[in-house]
A and B are shown apart, each in its own frame.
Chain A
Amino acid sequence: MTTPADADADAVARLATDVRPDFPALRDEHAPAYLDSAATSQTPRQVLDAERAFVDAGTAAVHRGASEATGRATLAFEDARADVARFVGAREDEIVWTQNATDALNMVALGMADASAGLGDPRFALGPGDEILVTEAEHHANLIPWQRLARRTGASLRWVPVREDGTWSIDDARVALNSRTRVFAFAHVSNVTGLIAPAPELAELAHTVGATVVLDACQSVPHMPVDLAALGVDFAAFSGHKMLGPTGIGVLAGRADALAALPPARTGGSTITTVTMTDAEFLPPPQRFEAGTQAVTQAIGLGAAVRYLEGVGRERLAAREQQLATMLMDAAAAVPGVHIVGPAAGHERAALVSVVVDGVHAHDVGQFLDARGVAVRVGHHCAQPLHRRLGVAATTRASGYLYTSDEDVARFRAALAEVRPFFGVSS
């Protein structure tokens, strides 16, 4: 007799088989094992269908004009915003469309630079004596904007150091946070180590010293249930193309009070109420941040992607990702001369694993795997300081998603085992 738990386990293990028919790029039996979803995900036909349906019915600008088409476009654009808001536990007016997560993080840092220059609400004004805190494990997108903000304002940039394996803990953050910390920016899930940061506890800790919390949610929102209200962060950034959506669309999610206090870094059409020759007054969020013609079609595509993920079931997806995390770890650990970066086996991690192969440069590893029909990412994954700390120039990363099959991981494991013999590196 099958119990409900068995049935659930079955549904989790069957996920890739169930969804693959929706992904044209993965339907071909000769398609490579695609293990680079942490960089960008494949797209289900439902997303392009939604984009095409919108365009074919007559595209139009949003939030301006009076035509029927404009009304329809505006509704579809705002429906997509509602889809995304529901998906991450935010209010609709807490979702700002951006180009991608990098753009969203820059929008926060540049908005704070404006506040520091006396433009708008002083809540986010920084100056000498203030501190901006990041971690040594950040993606460049969540590091360089803060470096620039520090330079612009005279604030100091500090960081939570990582250990030799690339991990850090809330205790390390506790040491680094102090009453001068004005901003604490960190990745929810590391794109290199797969480490999952305890975001609610970190946000609470940062708030006790009065810091604004900025979350790079690129590797969490696509893969695990994320409720931003429950996390308690002030801002969060994520990209559409990592969650089955199109490129060119991303999200800055912000608590209503934080968004209301953040000056708009980019200004122009459709962000304003009254404009004179010398000044402008801005609309409330989110419109005040969406200057110029928006990526309307792509936003609608992202809305479809979110509905697709909801259809799959986020708990089911998260459970499958836990399976994949274990399978990827086991695959890498099984090969002699391969070292895994990040949390040790048995610890919680995302469905991605970065490895160092003794005696073979990551670029050569990636080239070899590619020839064996296994697509992975090689390089520093836009995290040079972290790789410097790990003592390597580059790593090889395999990452999974809902369409990743057991067979994909098996191919990765088999190809990885061939790398060192091919390059003549003895065990």
Chain B
Amino acid sequence: MNTDLASLYQQVILDHARKRSGFGLSADAAARHHELNPTCGDEITVGIAKDEDGTLSVLGWEGQGCSISMASASTMSELCAHRDATEVRTLIDQFRAMLRDREGGEPPESLEDAVAFQGVARFVMRIKCAMLAWVALEACLEQLSARERTAPAAS
């Protein structure tokens, strides 16, 4: 097989594209965000809710698109569920940094299965596909933070 193609479509990505972990939007989601990739029509809605301790008690998504965007959403759901919002933000930053690194530096182990997307960095047209779910998750976190700032929880 063509090595470029193999680096993009790693088996773990093809598996996640079918598995779609976290697929489904819960009625309990406190924040939702829809992202569209206008070049190919990929779309994803991510919904989240936080526990009182700040961990993501709900993390789900719905959407349709290419295998990269679907697999990325699936991987993200497994990686970020039940984590603290601050941790999740760090993971989003690390994932984005990995996709922007065309030199192919060693990605952090904290990304777990998501390191499979490292190969996407060399396909500039596909980076947006891989980022789609993560950008939606980031926007959800921002929505919750904005709400906390305007209406601070009684402690």
Q: Enumerate chain A interface residues (CB-CB to B < 8 A).
A: 360-364, 367-368, 371-372, 378-380, 384, 387, 393-394, 422-424
Indicate if B155 sits at the interface (CB-CB under 8 A).
no
- What 1/0 flags go to B12-46 for Cβ under 8 Å of A? 00100110000000000000000000011111000
Q: B8 contacts which of A362, A367, A387, A423 (Cβ < 8 Å)?
A: A367
In the assembled complex, the CB of B38 is this many whole angstroms from the nearest CB of chain A, namely 9
Nearest-neighbor residue (CB-CB) of A384 within chain B: B41
B40 touches A362 (CB 8 A): yes
List chain A residues, Cβ under 8 A from B141.
none
Bound: A65/B65 CA distance, A = 56
Q: Enumerate chain B interface residues (CB-CB to A < 8 A).
A: 2, 4-5, 8-9, 14, 17-18, 39-43, 64-68, 123, 126, 129
Could you name 5 residue pairs across A and B whose Cβ atoms are closer than 8 Å?
A361-B42, A362-B66, A364-B66, A371-B5, A394-B41
B65 touches A393 (CB 8 A): yes
- Known contacts A363-B42, A364-B67, A379-B40, A424 near B8 by CB under 8 Å: no
B67 touches A423 (CB 8 A): yes
B42 touches A393 (CB 8 A): yes
In the assembled complex, the CB of A198 is this many whole angstroms from the nearest CB of chain B, namely 31
Bound: A14/B123 CA distance, A = 36
- Known contacts A362-B40, A387-B41, A394-B41, A372 near B2 by CB under 8 Å: yes
B8 touches A393 (CB 8 A): no
B67 touches A361 (CB 8 A): yes
A371 touches B41 (CB 8 A): no
Nearest-neighbor residue (CB-CB) of B39 within chain A: A379
B126 touches A367 (CB 8 A): yes
Bound: A371/B67 CA distance, A = 16
- Known contacts A394-B40, A394-B41, A361 near B5 by CB under 8 Å: no
B4 touches A371 (CB 8 A): yes
In the assembled complex, the CB of B63 is this many whole angstroms from the nearest CB of chain A, namely 10
List chain B residues, Cβ under 8 A from A423.
9, 14, 17, 67
